[in-house]
Amino acid sequence: MDDEIKTKLIQHEEEEEGDLKQRIWDESKKIWRVALPSVISRVCAFGTLVVTQSFMGHISEVDLAGYALVQTLSVRFVNGILLGMSSATETLCGQAFGAGQHHMMGIYLQRSWIVDLVTLTILLPIFVFGTQIFKLVGQEKSIANSGGYISLWFIPFVYNYIFSLTIQMFLQAQLKNMIIAWLSASQFVIHILLSLLFVYTLNMGVSGAMIALSMSSWFLVIGEFIYIFGGWCPSSWKGFTITAFKDLVPMVKLSVSSGVMLCLELWYYAVLVLLAGYMADAEVAISAFSICLNINSWEFMISLGFLGGACVRVANELGRGNAKAVKFAIKVLLWTSIAIGVFFFVLCLVFRKKLVYLFTDDDRVAETVSDLTLLLSFSVLLNSIYPVLSGVAIGAGMQGTVAVVNLICFYVIGIPLGALLGYFTSLEVKGIWIGMIGGVLTQTIAVMYMVWRTDWDHEVKKASERLAQFYLTSNENPNRGLLTNHD
């Protein structure tokens, strides 16, 4: 009898193990369906900025430092705000898709365009008065002048964010973002060809590199417009509607909390580059730090793909009312992302100095970057954890709470620690980076604890209430006042 019981227990355990493997496999397929196209698109999109930096580095060291200053401070600041505000679209569209409210998704998208357009226009003086701002914060005159000139060239580029960021979130919420991956890969190739044409063939220098950047970025947006307006999203895009101008205040509130959350995250690194600008050899410090930061950020784009995957999976399951599926998705997401982080951690240690010469011919900059490689590797490893947790927060609409966590961990702990180690010890740039890691580590622990303590059954209820607040039924004719229609 005992043997019979043992046999049954073993069979039961084997069945559970087989069932778990199948569940992990099924969840992984759902995650990669969202994450892979998102990873490709974000790596390619950020890759255009990295390619432009590479061309700048071979034009002159001053222009490399000026470009690094603008891209890392101004563009990252604006991108952080717009990416964060656009994540409100991801929250609402993801939960609407999970709840079967497909017709609301196009309205959410249009509302996000309105909010982001107004926001970016308000922020435009950051680029118009770039030289004055950089001088005001104490940057070297030659670097500030170069940065101010490059800032003006960035204006047509940053306006693409209004559409490219929101449309990507709109499409990935309904599992249609493979088109974004193809368009982004094409954009990356086109950008390299345009850069070679304008910088080397036509010998247009800095202006040529920036023209190539703007042209390739708008290629992506035009392709997205063709896909949406051409009828490939029949259930979620019903045309332009005046309904998009209604209920903007709740949308703005969610967008602002999202914007603050991600902006605090992304601008954190920008402040550290600003601190590097006050070092004794500012040109080398800024260039070296920004190269490391760009390598780190380029790998971070993979993590942002998982952030998108986490947001969509959590939002979809909350919209469906399945708290158990939310918790399981979070576990699979984290372990998958960590495995990828370990791979890139090892890769950074192996290649060390070799990647640097893609960005510069200056041996001093290369040596400084080489010294930072170990710290860069640990940053890459942490990249695999906290973006996934941020994605979980966005999917659940908890951006406000994470914004407070980011403010404390990054700006009360990370930056002061980096400044202390950078200026009052012999560590210099290394000290700034150690401070950065300290802030990220505390943020990761805090958000992980928050996610672990979350009552997901309660979050299901909140998601249902949020969708009910915005919901318009088909009978209410949400498309009244259409300018165009693609039914």
User: Per-residue pLDDT tens for 344-377?
Assistant: 888 888 876 676 776 666 777 777 777 788 888 8
Find the domain containing 280 and state its range. Answer: 34-472
As for how many domains the chain has, the answer is: 1
- Asked which of 131-135, 306-310, 325-329, 448-452 is least confident by mean pLDDT, the reply is 306-310
At 430 the pLDDT is: 84
At 233 the pLDDT is: 87
At 481 the pLDDT is: 33
Residue 269 lies in a domain: yes
Q: Per-residue pLDDT averaged across 237-262, rounded?
A: 75
Residue 169 lies in a domain: yes
Residue 1 lies in a domain: no
At 479 the pLDDT is: 40
Residue 46 lies in a domain: yes
Residue 55 lies in a domain: yes
At 355 the pLDDT is: 67
Q: Per-residue pLDDT averaged across 263-274, rounded?
A: 70
User: Does the structure show a pLDDT above 80 at 246?
Assistant: no
User: Does the structure show a pLDDT above 70 at 477?
Assistant: no
Q: Per-residue pLDDT averaged across 418-433, rounded?
A: 85
- Asked which of 20-24, 126-130, 165-169, 395-399 is least confident by mean pLDDT, the reply is 395-399
**Mean pLDDT score of the chain, rounded to an integer?**
81
At 3 the pLDDT is: 54
Q: Per-residue pLDDT averaged across 446-457, rounded?
A: 87
Residue 370 lies in a domain: yes
User: Does the structure show a pLDDT above 60 at 379?
Assistant: yes
At 12 the pLDDT is: 43
Confidence of residue 470 (pLDDT cuts 50, 70, 90): low
At 74 the pLDDT is: 87
User: Does the structure show a pLDDT above 80 at 329?
Assistant: yes
Residue 9 lies in a domain: no
SS3 track for the chain: CHHHHHHHHHHHHHHHHHHHHHHHHHHHHHHHHHHHHHHHHHHHHHHHHHHHHHHHHCCCHHHHHHHHHHHHHHHHHHHHHHHHHHHHHHHHHHHHHHCCCHHHHHHHHHHHHHHHHHHHHHHCHHHHCHHHHHHHCCCCHHHHHHHHHHHHHHHHHHCCHHHHHHHHHHHHHCCCCHHHHHHHHHHHHHHHHHHHHHHHHCCCHHHHHHHHHHHHHHHHHHHHHHHHHHHHCCCCCCCCCHHHHCCHHHHHHHHHHHHHHHHHHHHHHHHHHHHHCCCCCHHHHHHHHHHHHHHHHHHHHHHHHHHHHHHHHHHHHHHHCCHHHHHHHHHHHHHHHHHHHHHHHHHHHHHCCHHHHHCCCCHHHHHHHHHCHHHHHHHHHHHCCHHHHHHHHHHHCCHHHHHHHHHHHHHHHHHHHHHHHHHCCCCCHHHHHHHHHHHHHHHHHHHHHHHHHCCHHHHHHHHHHHHHHHCCCHHHCCCCCCCCCCC
At 311 the pLDDT is: 81
> How much of the chain, in percent, has pLDDT values that exceed 90?
19
Residue 396 lies in a domain: yes
Higher-scoring residue by pLDDT: 318, 399: 318
